[in-house]
Amino acid sequence: MTLANNGGALGETIPDSNLDGSRFVRACLRKPVDRTPVWFLRQAGRYMQEYREVRKHHTLVEICKQPELAAEVTITAAEKLGVDAAIIFADLLLPLEPMGLDFEFQAGEGPVVHRPVRTAEDVHALRTDRAGDLAYVARAIEKVAAHFRERLGIIGFCGAPYTLASYMIEGGSSRNYIYTKRMMYADATAWRGLLDKLVAVLTAYCRQQVEAGADVIQIFDSWVGSLGLSDYCAYAFEATQQLVRAVQAMGVPVIYFGVETAGLLGQMAQTGADVIGLDWRQPLDEGWRAVGHARAVQGNLDPITLFAPMEVLEERVKEILRAANGRPGHIFNLGHGIVPGTPVESVQAVVRMVKEFRLEGPRG
């Protein structure tokens, strides 16, 4: 494939035979598409009235564990927004439970792990033989896949080893990752043992999701930006690469996402992931250059732009699409998740803007 253009964004016609597969999956593989696909990180969530209604009657974990409810929340959000992909409603922390760590979401506090992993013995005690307990996520994917069939791309997901390890060790969200980095630096055997166990469980979990109908797997390394490049290479890269390769061997593309990753992008691309998520702190074309044009990219609108006046929002959306410049392999998204209080109309407006966008034709 050449890097010349993705046809659609320039308004060209693409033969039908080149349009197999959803627009979203095609973009992940850097194949030509009729227009740039769009979806949003955290597109189902508290900013949406329909989700808040369901949440009145069920906890977050209850929704995740009841495939009927998880599928409904997933489908409602994707249809209301008119996006090109549906991400299954689940949470990053679900695999902790079958590994032997109880957690809960406390209002306003985020996730809390009751007995965090702090020692080699704690790592030793973690179980890897119960990934089957997570099958409720696969059952929800089956329902979403049956609903959308070929119309939308269906995204399964899991946390990356580093980000999940940080939740297990810190016991929740963290500012400085002191316990995590202390184990990483001081006890290489425990650290590597923890990452190996995570890779084993996450691989099995992703396999269930792919077998259930996920077209793509997104690996969230949300907190990897807490690592400098040397530490990323020394302590996180290899386990992530193993997970990426294991998922690709299942026959689906992988999106690898992180935040505050400007200094890590080149190395993140070395995992072999098909698509790299970009946050908004650098222009999309700069981020793409750092990733290398042999990979697709996803991003990178600042989620808080959704609170801006329409003209500002539109300018930012167009800036991103112009920076992508019609090159195959751009998936429009935010640089991180939608936050509570975001006006739904602004999210819908972005979908419209992406759908209507045309690059100015070649000059001269």
Rank residues 29 and 60 by Cβ distance to ligand CP3 and give the closer one. Answer: 60
For the chain, how many residues are written?
A: 364
Contact indicator for 145, 212 with CB cutoff of 8 Å: yes
- Report in angstroms the alpha-carbon separations of 20 from 26, 28, 37: 8, 13, 15
Return the number of the residue (190 or 275) whose C-beta is nearest ligand CP3: 275
Determine which one of 23, 30, 35, 42 is catalytic: 42
Residue number with CB closer to ligand CP3 (193 or 337):
337
CB of 220 to ligand CP3, least distance (A): 4
Return d(Cα 192, Cα 204) in angstroms, integer: 18
**Which residue number, 80 or 181, has a Cβ lying nearer to ligand CP3?**
80
Q: How far is the CB of 321 from ligand CP3 (least distance, A)?
A: 22
Dihedral sign computed on CA atoms, order 351, 141, 328, 330: positive
User: Is 337 an interacting residue with respect to ligand CP3 (CB under 6 A)?
Assistant: yes
Q: How many residues bind ligand CP3 (CB under 6 A)?
A: 23
Smallest separation (angstroms) from ligand CP3 to the CB of 293: 26
Tell me if residue 46 is catalytic. yes
Is residue 277 near ligand CP3 by the rule CB under 6 A?
A: no
55 is catalytic: yes
Window 55 to 84, contacts with ligand CP3 (CB under 6 A)? 55, 60, 77
Residue from 203, 222, 241, 242 in contact with ligand CP3 (CB under 6 A): 222
Indicate whether 344 belongs to the interface with ligand CP3 (CB under 6 A): no
**Which of the ranges 88-96, 191-199, 241-249, 322-330 carries the binding residues for ligand CP3, by CB under 6 A?**
88-96
Applying the rule CB under 6 A, the residues between 8 and 47 that interact with ligand CP3 are: 41-46
Q: Which amino acid is at 17?
A: S
Residues 98-117 that bind ligand CP3 (CB under 6 A): 105, 110-111
The arrangement of strands across the sheet holding 275-277 comes to 85-87, 153-159, 216-221, 254-258, 275-277, 296-301, 330-334
DSSP secondary structure string for all residues of 272-318: T-SEEE--TTS-HHHHHHHH-TTSEEEEEE-GGGGGS-HHHHHHHHH
Kind of pairing between the strands at 103-106 and 110-113: antiparallel
Alpha-carbon span 293 to 265, nearest angstrom: 12
Residue closer to ligand CP3 by CB (options 157, 237) is 157
Six-digit token string for 92: 């990053």
Among 18, 106, 119, 173, binds ligand CP3 (CB under 6 A): 173
171 binds ligand CP3 (CB under 6 A): no
Tell me phi and psi for residue 101, to 5 degrees.
-110, 120
Q: Show the binding pattern over residues 137-166: x = contacts ligand CP3 (CB under 6 A), - = does not.
A: --------------------x---------
Interaction of residue 280 with ligand CP3, rule CB under 6 A: no
Annotated catalytic, 279?
Answer: no
Residue closer to ligand CP3, measured from CB, 9 or 38? 38
Q: How far apart are CA 224 and CA 103, in angstroms?
A: 21
Query: What is the spatial distance between Cα 54 and Cα 84, in angstroms, rounded to a whole number?
Result: 23
Q: Measured from the CB atom, is 25 or 255 closer to ligand CP3?
A: 255
Cβ contacts of 54 within 8 Å, gap of 6 or more: 63, 69, 72, 73
Helix and strand counts by DSSP (H, E) for the chain: 16, 9
* 42 carries an active-site annotation: yes
Please report, as ranges, the residues that interact with ligand CP3 according to CB under 6 A: 41-46, 55, 60, 77, 87, 89, 91-93, 105, 110-111, 157, 173, 220, 222, 336-337
The residues annotated with a catalytic role in the active site are 42, 46, 55, 91, 167
